[in-house]
Amino acid sequence: MMDVTVLAGAIDDVNQLSQKLNALLVGSVMSLMVGASVAVTWRKTNSVVSGFVAFVGGAALWFAVMNAAVFRDSVGEDIAPDSGTAKSAGAVHAVVRVIEPADGDRR
C-alpha cells in the first residue's frame, strides 16, 4: 500500500510541475515573443502602424493559446450538436423502392 501512496504523490508532483511550467511558458515566453515580433516589425518597417498590427496579431495568438480548451470544446459542440444527430435519433428508417424490369428487358 505504501507504493501506491508514493506513486500518487509523484503523480501529483508532476501535475503541479506541469501546471507551473505551462504558466511560465504562457506568461513569460508568449510576452517575450509578442514583444520581439513588435520590435522586429517596427525595426524593419519603421512604421508605428505595422508595429501596432504586429502587437494585435501577437495578442490574438496569445488569446488563442490561453483559451485553447474553450476553442477545442466549442469545435466539438459545433460538429456534433446535442439535438438532431443520428446518434440521438435512435433507429433510422429508410424507404426503398424496388423496380421490376419489364418482360422484354430481362437478360
Three-state DSSP class for 29?
helix
| Contact status, residue 30 vs residue 65, Cβ threshold 8 Å | yes
Query: What residue spans define the domains of the chain?
Result: 2-80
pLDDT digits over 53-66, tens only? Answer: 999 999 998 888 78
pLDDT value at residue 94: 64
Instruction: Please give the pLDDT value at position 99.
Output: 77
- For residue 71, pLDDT over 80 is answered with no
In angstroms, the CA 36 to CA 3 distance is 47
Count Cβ atoms below 10 Å from residue 50 Cβ, excluding itself: 14
- This prediction's pTM: 0.50
| Lowest pLDDT segment from 12-16, 45-49, 66-70 | 66-70
Cell (9 digits) for 43: 525595426
Q: Indicate the pLDDT class of residue 75, thresholds 50, 70 and 90.
A: low
Which has the minimum average pLDDT: 8-12, 44-48, 60-64? 8-12
In three-state secondary structure terms, 97 is coil
| Interval 7-14 mean pLDDT | 82
